[in-house]
Chain A
Amino acid sequence: MLGLQALFFYLFALVTVGSAVSVVVARNPVHAVLFLILTFVSAAGLFLLTGAEFLALILIVVYVGAVAILFLFVVMMLDLDLGDIKRGALDYAPIGAIIGVILLAELIIVVTGNYFDPQLSVATAMPTPPLAEVSNIRALGSVLYTRYVFFFQLAGLILFVAMIGAIVLTLRHKEGIKRQSIPRQVARTPETAIEIRKVQSGKGL
């Protein structure tokens, strides 16, 4: 099975790297976002190959299905002039390069930390349950809701605060707007809503 797995790994890796490069060099911003989505999807494919099926699908549901759609919308709504954006692009190259180097260094430290100091990862790593017996989701859930429940709740709280912040920033109470109040509409009865009058013919009200 190894041959086929390697083949798929190179396929997904190639598409991931290729589309990630295209995100940066694409001339049309909408195309750039579409390439970003392709990057996410092929990264999900890489997750699948390592057996992390739950992470792969969550990546698709959350990032591709929700976050990237909002991205796409913002980019589509903006009236972007391609010439203006590309003209200053090279000015940002040094900053981008610095961030890239920092990220690379962090990745190398994380991956090789185990090699230099085995104690480091022993202290943090939970034993991985045998994947043949326990499904991915059960394994994740059994640590997420027991050992890491505090961090889990904290992450939820941070997102909640961010959500409230976004609502507060955009909420406007305009005066003089007629709003629909469903409970008030439902609570109306014929007695309060209509009035029956006797109209004499030829007179009117």
Chain B
Amino acid sequence: MADFFSLYFWPGLIILGQSLLFLVVLLVLIAYILLADRKIWAAVQMRRGPNVVGPWGLFQSFADLLKFVLKEPTIPASANKGVFLLAPLVAVTLALATFAVVPVADGWVIANVNIGILYVFAISSLEVYGVIMGGWASNSKYAFLGALRSAAQMVSYEVSIGFVIVSVLLCVGSLNLTDIVLAQTNGVGTMVGLPNTFLDWHWLALFPMFVVFFISALAETNRPPFDLPEAESELVAGFMVEYGSTPYMMFMLGEYAAITLMCCLTTILFLGGWLPPFNFVPFTWIPGVIWFLLKVALVFFMFAMVKAFVPRYRYDQLMRLGWKVFLPLSLAMVVIVAFVLQITGWAAV
């Protein structure tokens, strides 16, 4: 019995506590990311944005949470009830599950697995199920059209995201997210003799892939200018049209969790994770998690600005971009990166 406690119970309890703490921090972060999205969008359009609840509207997201939870959930009479209620659950669970392997600082990770990036890729490829199930179970043509578009879009852009990840992996030689960050202490900067700075991170060495990844991440998370699954001007709200109250909130939460994940992933793959921009004294005093959050905020700011000033793509243009531009480009880059690494002998291992 003592074995049971020392082997399973206490480690299990510690992991549970860590996961809960991480989840709470993550949910609060998502609440403020949602607020930041609205504030930035408002500022670009010269509006004030949410400013009533709390100082500068800081508690707006929590007020919204209360509103959604206290509303009465309505289920359409002809909907497939089980799948209708399962869809938002699937969306939010999968989006939050991916964070288990995200390292926010050196050693600060719930599960430091060797195949971290593959796990993230696999789980985020499942996120499309929430959308499809919601769209189908609503039994409404707008919802179904939104789900159709979304599935095609998310599957298309996953391909180029996969190739971008492969080219980063070629440079690193490991699928562990912590290793990917640590590999960015050496790079273009140190190669020309500079000390370790932000020039070593992958964004410079793999700049085309950084751009492809950023745009694919926008498409993968259904962010504007690729928000065709929602397209309120034509499909009302796409796959979410029949949803209200808590199920709707869960879809929203899942969407913003996926966006936050993509920001974290961009940070880890290309912006050096928790590494400070200059590896000398005043910068190394600041803990890694602060740098990580700052970089995530920077990437999210770019996400929000794109939403504010790029008009929505037409559907055929979206598909053309994914299949005819990004797929050949990222495939060619994988070949080029592999070739260069092999020729120069820089390949890890």
Give residues 35-77 of A contacting B (CB, 8 Å): 37, 53-54, 57, 60-61, 64-66, 69, 72-73, 76
A69 to B147, CA, bound (A): 11
Q: Are A73 and B118 in contact (CB under 8 A)?
A: no
The interface residues of chain B lying within 8 Å CB-to-CB of A76 are: 132, 136, 144
Output the least CB separation between B344 and chain A (Å): 20
CB proximity of B208 to chain A, nearest CB, Å: 19
Say if the beta carbon of B342 comes within 8 Å of chain A: no
Would you call B122 and A60 a contact (CB within 8 A)? yes
Q: In the complex, which residues of chain A have a beta carbon less than 8 angstroms from the beta carbon of B123?
A: 60
Secondary structure at the A interface, as helix, strand, loop or mixed, is: helix
Most chain B beta-carbon contacts within 10 A, residue among A4, A60, A64, A136: A60
With the chains together, A60 CA to B148 CA distance in Å? 21
Name B83's contact: one of A30, A54, A61, A137 (CB within 8 Å).
Answer: A30
Closest B residue by C-beta to A66: B155
Say if the beta carbon of B331 comes within 8 Å of chain A. Answer: no
- 0/1 per residue, B1-25, Cβ < 8 Å to A? 0000001100000000000000000
Cross-chain contact B155 with A57 (CB below 8 angstroms): no
Q: A135 contacts the other chain (Cβ, under 8 Å)? A: yes
Complex alpha-carbon distance, A54 and B119, angstroms: 9
Whether a CB of chain B sits under 8 angstroms from the CB of A82 is no
Given contacts A34-B133, A76-B136, A135-B114, whether A65 and B316 have CB atoms under 8 Å apart is no
Which residues of the other chain, B, contact A37 by a CB distance below 8 angstroms?
A: 129
> Is B48 part of the contact surface with A, judged by Cβ < 8 Å?
no
Bound form: Cα–Cα A4–B123 in Å: 24
The residue from B80, B118, B128, B136 contacting A54, defined by CB atoms under 8 A apart = B118
Given A53-B114, A65-B126, A180-B316, are A34 and B83 neighbors across the interface (CB < 8 Å)?
A: yes
B86's nearest neighbour on chain A, judged by CB, is: A34
* B125 and A60 within 8 A (CB): yes
Cross-interface CB contact of A64 among B83, B114, B126, B151, cutoff 8 Å? B126
Docked Cα-Cα span, A61 to B154, in Å, equals 13
A158 close to chain B: CB less than 8 A: no
B172 at the interface (CB under 8 A from A): no
**Complex contact B155–A69 (CB within 8 A):** yes
Measured in the bound complex, the distance between the Cα atoms of B7 and A4 in whole Å is: 10
Within 8 A of A (CB), among B89-119: 113-115, 118-119
A182 on the B face (CB < 8 A):
yes
Write the chain A residue with the least CB distance to B144.
A76
B339 within 8 A of A: no
B76 vs chain A, min Cβ distance (A):
16
Q: Is the CB of B320 within 8 A of A182?
A: yes
CB distance from B84 to the nearest CB of A (A): 12
| B115 with A64: CB separation less than 8 A | no
Contacts of B148 in A (CB 8 A): 73
Q: What CA separation (Å) do A30 and B123 show in the bound complex?
A: 21
Q: Is there a chain B Cβ closer than 8 Å to A108's Cβ?
A: no
Q: Give A61 to B121 CA distance when docked, in angstroms.
A: 7
Residues of B within 8 A of A57 (CB): 115, 118-119, 121-122
Q: Does B200 lie at the interface of the complex (its beta carbon under 8 Å from any beta carbon of A)?
A: no
Q: Do B133 and A65 touch across chains, with their CB atoms under 8 A apart?
A: no
Docked CA distance A145–B114 (Å): 21
Given contacts A53-B115, A54-B115, A57-B122, whether A30 and B136 have CB atoms under 8 Å apart is yes
Cα A136 to Cα B119 with chains together (Å)? 14
CA distance A31 to B136 in the complex (A): 11
- With A and B bound together, what is the CA distance between A135 and B72 in angstroms? 51
Is A73 a contact partner of B151 (Cβ separation < 8 A)? yes
List, in ascending order, chain B residues with CB within 8 A of A64's CB: 125-126
Partner pick for B126 among A53, A54, A60, A137, CB 8 A cutoff: A60
Interface flag for A1 (CB, 8 Å) = yes
CB-CB contacts below 8 Å: A64-113 with B? 64-66, 69, 72-73, 76
Q: Across the interface, do B115 and A137 meet the contact criterion of CB distance under 8 Å?
A: yes
Cα of A98 to Cα of B77 in the assembled complex, Å: 43
Q: Which of A125-169 contact B (CB under 8 A)?
A: 135-137
Determine the chain A residues whose CB is within 8 A of the CB of B320 once the complex forms. 182
Distance in angstroms between the alpha carbons of A1 and B4 in the assembled complex: 10
Q: A residues within 8 A CB of B136?
A: 30, 76
B85 to chain A, nearest CB (A): 13
A182 nearest in chain B by CB position:
B320
Contact among A30, A61, A137, A180 for B125, CB-based, below 8 A: A61
Instruction: Collect the chain A residues with CB atoms within 8 Å of residue B30's CB.
Output: none
Q: List 11 A-B contacts (CB under 8 A).
A: A28-B80, A30-B83, A37-B129, A54-B115, A57-B115, A64-B125, A65-B126, A65-B155, A69-B128, A73-B132, A180-B316
Q: Which residues of B contact A (CB under 8 A)?
A: 7-8, 80, 83, 113-115, 118-119, 121-123, 125-126, 128-129, 132-133, 136, 144, 148, 151, 155, 158, 175, 316, 320
- Of all A-B residue pairs in the complex, the 5 with the closest CB atoms, nearest first, are A65-B125, A60-B122, A57-B122, A57-B118, A61-B122
Question: 14 new A-B pairs (CB below 8 Å) besides A61-B121, A135-B114?
Answer: A1-B7, A28-B80, A53-B113, A53-B114, A54-B118, A57-B121, A57-B122, A65-B122, A65-B126, A69-B132, A73-B132, A135-B115, A136-B114, A137-B115
